[in-house]
Amino acid sequence: MQKYFLLVFCMIFLSCALFAQPNERIDILENLLKNAKEDSNKVLIMYQLAWNYLSSKPEKMKEYTLKGIALAHQIRFYHGEVLLLNRLGDYYSHAGNYPKAIEYSTQSLKLAEATKDSIGIADAHVLLGIIHQEGLKNKELAMRHHIEALKIYEKQKNKNGVAAALNLLARFYSSTKRDLPLALQYTEKSITIARGTHNEDFLAWCLTTRGSVYNDAANFDSALFYFQKATQAYQRAKDKTNVAINGLLIGNVYLKQGKFSQALQSYWQQLYPIKELKANAMLRDAYKGLAEVYAAQKRYDSAYLYHFWYTQLKDSISNEETAQKVAIVQSRYEEEKKEAKIALLEKEKEIAKDEKQHYIVGFAGFALLVLFVLFFIVRNNQQKQKVNRLLQEKNEEIATQNEELLQAKEEITVQRDMLEEQNKQLKEVNDTKNKLFSIVSHDLRSPINRLKGILSLVVHDAISEAELKMYFANLYGNINSLHDTLDNLLQWAYSQMEGIKSTPQKVDIHQLIENHIILFSEIAKAKQIAISQQVPSDLYAFADEHQVRLILRNLIHNAIKFTPLQGQITIFTKQIEEFVEIAVKDTGVGMSKEQLANLFQTKLYQSTQGTQGEKGTGLGLILCKEMVEKNGGSIWVESTEGKGSIFYFTLPIDRANH
């Protein structure tokens, strides 16, 4: 139960400056945040919001804390970053994740020390003390942190900080039974300071501490008095968490006094709020208290039931705490390993510095030697000429070697570039081969097998003439699909190996579209799709007619493929300056944004089945794009998923007729 007592600090410290009720404080701060600029004031507003949300909406507190840290780091407001890192430690401490709590509070302490932020240093020491005392049960280390915080607060004459540190030290001296009179003296000082803040949370926390000290001293009447006073203050502050904590403390006192009815009532009153708060540690202690009360009343069935629930929760929490301790040990090991690595790097740096000094001394000695040689050469002119001649020959030899090395390097670079280009070409050829094999083995084999099956039935007289006529429409569609697939495949393979070549000429767009409507009439009829056109009869383009046919065939075929029964396909055109714009509109399934983004990607072959399972190679639109651009035009699409698509492409207009 002592654990909750200290964690209350995280919900009241440094919020004493705002005297409004919690909801009013939050509303005021939220309104200030909306109009705040991206500066230190906004960071401090988010810091205050994080404090106020800690007990009511922890996830909201985490959200504002992370945003505040990011902004503070961006604008180099280190004091704000220090405070918010501590609040993130509060969040994880409240959640019982002590390794994370230590990680962020230690970050805060290091940054505060680096920037000489005394307030941040004290704040970090307080939080680390709470975590070590109540989370990790390392009370000696916790006491050192609390004393460090108290020293800083007293030096700054920060009364609220002094009160908080005294309160924490009082709990330490009381829980360890070291000095109960000193603990009472500390709580008296902290309560006096808290009354001057007009902050109910802060006052209630200090009253609870004094009650706990009396409880440790077995002065149960005084303990009960201060616990009840603290509960009233928490109720005025609408702090449900700490009302429940104090309710359990009151139940414990009644139990020790042998007032079992009052103890039972106190425990029962806290069960629903604790379950609503999802506070497993508090629920564990409530179950334990109920089990002890029922056992004292000799109601052993109820005592056994609550003791069983208490044991289950205790084991679960114990497992979590063990895992956290292992994580902390691992974290400390990693930190020590990092520090050892840094020390090793520093040592290597010193060695390198020493080696550099040795080099400097060696170079100085060498320079002196050179000067002596030069002096000797000046005095001996003949020897000087000989040495100069030798040096010149050596320099020429070195220059020749440098030229040879440079030439060899250039040759290697050229050979490497050639190899990379060859590898690229081989990969493209291999991709082409794989795509061809995939299409031949999958997309061509299926329609050929169906055709083979029907012909086999005809050869063996296994199908009547009437039944054969029923298959004609399907057979005709399969043959057309096979023809389109083969044509697309051949055109694609040719474009991959030799590139597309265009022979532009005058093309009658109206007649070409009419021919394709007739060509696809049977396939469209099978799906009850109406195809119409709105194309003037005197519209001519200047392009490769064979390629324009292939473009139209693919776009109309796709429109039929992805349009459900009783759909509508419309082909219309318009002249835009020197170009003819042709559009194929359908009422089909449409496309998602992701499909649109990858639609014309030459390296992403996507084959999608039609509304009745029609297949394709995924090459049609790629060929359309290549051929439209080869003829000087462009192609694009507008589509809404579930409503249909419109494919547009442009071709140069035939100027002879305009």
Give the tens place of pLDDT for each residue, 275-304. 887 778 888 988 898 989 988 889 988 888
For the ranges 150-164, 393-407, 519-533, the lowest mean pLDDT is seen at 393-407
Domain boundary among 159, 178, 199: 199
Domain boundary among 199, 229, 249: 199
Residue 603, pLDDT score? 58
Would residue 302 count as lying in a domain? no
Band of the pLDDT at 386, cuts 50, 70, 90?
confident
Highest mean pLDDT: which range of 70-74, 202-206, 317-321:
70-74
pTM equals: 0.43
Residue 14, pLDDT score? 39
Residue 104, pLDDT score? 92
State how far the alpha carbon of 504 is from the alpha carbons of 383, 510, 560, in Å. 83, 17, 28
Would residue 466 count as lying in a domain? no
Q: How far apart are CA 516 and CA 518, in angstroms?
A: 5
Would residue 367 count as lying in a domain? no
Domain boundary among 199, 224, 259: 199
> What average pLDDT does range 526-547 have in this prediction?
93
Residue 436: pLDDT above 60? no
Band of the pLDDT at 616, cuts 50, 70, 90?
low
> What average pLDDT does range 365-393 have in this prediction?
74
Residue 591, pLDDT score? 92
Residue 450, pLDDT score? 57
Would residue 583 count as lying in a domain? yes
Residue 543, pLDDT score? 95
Residue 281, pLDDT score? 80
Residue 442: pLDDT above 80? no
Would residue 479 count as lying in a domain? no
Alpha helices in 75-117 (DSSP H): 78-94, 98-114
pLDDT digits (tens, 9 = 90+) for 331-347: 544 555 555 565 566 66
- The domain that holds 637 is classified in CATH as 3.30.565.10
pLDDT digits (tens, 9 = 90+) for 107-124: 999 999 999 988 889 888
pLDDT digits (tens, 9 = 90+) for 452-475: 666 766 777 767 776 666 666 556
Of 58, 47, 55, nearest to 18 by C-alpha is 47
Would residue 135 count as lying in a domain? yes
Would residue 386 count as lying in a domain? no
Q: Tokens representing 180?
A: 């109960």
For the chain, the domain total comes to 2
- The domain that holds 69 is classified in CATH as 1.25.40.10
State how far the alpha carbon of 355 is from the alpha carbons of 348, 351, 365, 369, 545, in Å. 10, 6, 15, 21, 78
Q: Count CA within 13 A, CB hemisphere, residue 604.
A: 10
Contact partners, residue 658, CB within 8 Å, separation at least 6:
540, 575
Would residue 92 count as lying in a domain? yes
Q: Tokens representing 428?
A: 């493209």
When the pLDDT of each residue in the chain is averaged and rounded to a whole number, the result is 80
Domain hosting 500: range is 487-657
Residue 15: pLDDT above 80? no
Cβ atoms of residues 126 and 146 within 8 Å: yes
Residue 240, pLDDT score? 83
Band of the pLDDT at 633, cuts 50, 70, 90?
very high
Residue 351, pLDDT score? 58
Q: How far apart are CA 73 and CA 69, in angstroms?
A: 6
Band of the pLDDT at 4, cuts 50, 70, 90?
very low
Residue 407: pLDDT above 90? no
Residue 579: pLDDT above 70? yes
For the ranges 219-223, 577-581, 604-608, the lowest mean pLDDT is seen at 604-608
Residue 329, pLDDT score? 46
Residue 121, pLDDT score? 92
